[in-house]
Amino acid sequence: MNKRAGNHSIIYALCKVFTIFILCFSLAACATVPLTERKSLSLISDSELVSLSNDQYAKVLKESKLSTDQEEVQMVTRVGKRIATAAEGFLKESGAGDKIKNYKWQFNVIEDDKTVNAWCMPGGKVAVYTGILPVTKNETGLAVVLGHEVAHAIAEHGNERMSQALVAQLGGVALSAALANQPAETTQLFMAAYGVTANVGALLPYSRLHESEADRIGLTLMAKAGYDPHEAVRFWQAMSAQGGSRPPTLLSTHPAPESRIEKIKSYIPEAMRYYKK
């Protein structure tokens, strides 16, 4: 064998080993989205995300003005608990019952009438801004929002977006290393990944897929919690009407056009199988 042929053999062998390594890494770093069965990138452990979530949630609450309207607070807590119970049941039915231990649910109302938004961090840390309550109008409308946001959490969309960001923007380093070396940038990515901020940068192209999955799973969650999924059509029509030149935060990265509402309508029969008044 001549030297050139030998080099080619070595390169081929290295490429083969590298390909196998990448394949194994990809399989090991995959999670399965409940209901849709889509494989998603998941490079961050649940414990790391929950720890970061606890810290950031406490910081948001400290820096925000919480609502003192007991009627609002009690409604959000009441609907939230029903959605949370439905989510845990859904995880069990989806074969992901081991994930339930990560959730210590908290529901808080932030007094900010100009912000039409809500979000759910890992571990079930939820915030609802008072600006969205005139759009939800009632408990069932609120269940649409909370079902949608909790769906993002149990589908681990935030983990996927953070994983993508760690690869694309921070060179693929581990979360712990990113927090140690670039704490401000990493925290900003985390907050954006969970919808706490509107500026999601390079993560934007992935948002429509996540929104479609959250719409579908969210309808199932609200149905399991005893809320009529048909209300989702009215809510998203109302949200779309809120648009204009500055759309609500909840729509800032993923507008709700007619096509989205038509998709939601197509998901309703699936969700209605779980609905009991």
pLDDT digits (tens, 9 = 90+) for 205-241: 346 788 899 999 999 999 999 999 999 999 999 988 8
In a domain, 65, yes or no: yes
pLDDT tens, position by position, 252-276: 555 556 788 999 999 999 999 999 8
CA neighbours closer than 13 Å in the CB half-sphere of residue 1: 8
DSSP helix/strand/coil, 255: coil
In a domain, 23, yes or no: no
- List residues with catalytic annotation: 149
In a domain, 20, yes or no: no
- DSSP 8-state symbol, 138: S
Total count of domains within the chain: 1
Average pLDDT, the chain: 81
Flag whether the pTM goes above 0.85.
no
Token readout for 104 is 């210590």
Residue 87 amino acid letter: A
In a domain, 121, yes or no: yes
CA distance to 2, 114, 157, 170, 172, per residue, from 163 (Å): 44, 31, 10, 10, 8
In a domain, 24, yes or no: no
pLDDT tens, position by position, 121-158: 999 999 999 999 999 999 999 999 999 999 999 999 88
Integer Rg of the chain from CA: 21
Instruction: Give φ, ψ of 196 to 5 degrees.
Output: -75, -30
Give the chain's length: 277
Domain that holds residue 248: 30-272
